[in-house]
Amino acid sequence: MGGDRLENKTSVSVASWSSLNARMDNRFATAFVIACVLSLISTIYMAASIGTDFWYEYRSPVQENSSDLNKSIWNDFASDEADEKTYSDALFRYNGTVGLWRRCITIPQNTYWYSPPERTESFDMVTKCMSFTLNEQFMEKFVEPGNHNSGIDLLRTYLWRCQFLLPFVSLGLMCFGALIGLCACICRSLYPTIATGILHLLAGLCTLGSVSCYVAGIELLHQKLELPEDVSGEFGWSFCLACVSAPLQFMASALFIWAAHTNRKEYTLMKAYRVA
């Protein structure tokens, strides 16, 4: 009788532990799936923000359709020797947009060798874009934009370089974290995902740093080059995507680390229970 009772108690204990272990596995799997979805969304947002040209947008009145003026502005804007002041003035005047890789202005599409007899309510507008070269990305910024004799502004120089480099570092960290997560799935173990969580945490910090550097750089530029009275500026949707990406990375990081750490702890308790 004593042996039967002991066997029954052991069977009940094993069944209870198996049920608890199954519930814990479901909880870890749910957290892992949610973290993967958040990671995927943040990666898409970050890639979209890097590849688009709407980090900052300027709003200015539509300019008159003057062929000589438009041609001069476009030639200066598209020149390889265009300095920061030259292309910034064009951005202010012609509804410019700025991304991490390109700068764009909007000018009338149709130009005339004579002045049009009447000014229509709207012109056919076309967007002209120029890419920042690598030399421009790492070029020094000057205390007075456009004045090479005013000295190098180290703060704005390194803010510009960081805002350009950090998004790529963030994207690379998330891709490397995804690779580690895939290996964890193949190995059927959640413990390696703690590295994925740490990489997502670092990626979130890089994204947050990039956004902060961009905001600081724009504010410092506008202190050097004040906007005309009829021109306004605002952060665009590409910038907003980067801002949204950072908290998603932090949430994914927290879920990855929690699932890996708690799963490891439960595994240790289960081994101790079996030994006992």
pLDDT at 114: 45
Answer for the pair 197, 256: CB distance below 8 angstroms, yes or no: yes
What's the pTM value of the predicted model, to 2 decimals? 0.80
Return d(Cα 161, Cα 134) in angstroms, integer.
10
> Whole-angstrom Cα distance, residue 227 to residue 13?
74
CB atoms within 10 A of CB 70: 19
Phi-psi region of 6 (alpha: psi -120 to 50; beta: other; left: phi over 0): alpha
How much is the pLDDT for 50?
A: 94
Residue 243 pLDDT:
96
Spell out the residues 6+ positions from residue 215 whose beta carbon is closer than 8 angstroms to its own: 235
* 276 residues of the chain, pLDDT tens digit each: 444 544 444 444 444 444 444 444 577 778 888 999 999 999 999 999 999 999 999 998 876 555 566 677 777 887 777 888 888 888 998 889 999 989 999 887 665 444 454 545 455 778 888 888 888 888 889 988 888 888 899 999 999 999 999 999 999 999 998 888 888 777 766 667 888 999 999 999 999 999 999 999 999 999 999 888 888 999 999 999 999 999 999 999 999 988 887 765 544 444 444 444
User: What's the pLDDT score for residue 244?
Assistant: 96
If we measure between CA atoms, which residue out of 42, 46, 38, 37 comes closest to residue 238?
A: 46
Report the side by side order of strands in the sheet with 125-131: 125-131, 102-108, 97-98, 56-59, 232-235
DSSP string, 96-118: -EE-SSEEEEEEES---SS--SS
pLDDT of residue 157: 93
Domain boundaries, the chain: 35-111+119-275
Strands 232-235 and 102-108: unpaired
DSSP string covering 24-45, please? HHHHHHHHHHHHHHHHHHHHHH
Region of residue 32 (left: phi > 0; alpha: psi -120 to 50; beta: else): alpha
Q: Give the CA distances from residue 88 to residues 35, 42, 141, 143, in Å, rounded to whole numbers and listed in that order.
A: 41, 31, 13, 15
CATH 1.20.140.150 fits 35-111+119-275, yes or no: yes
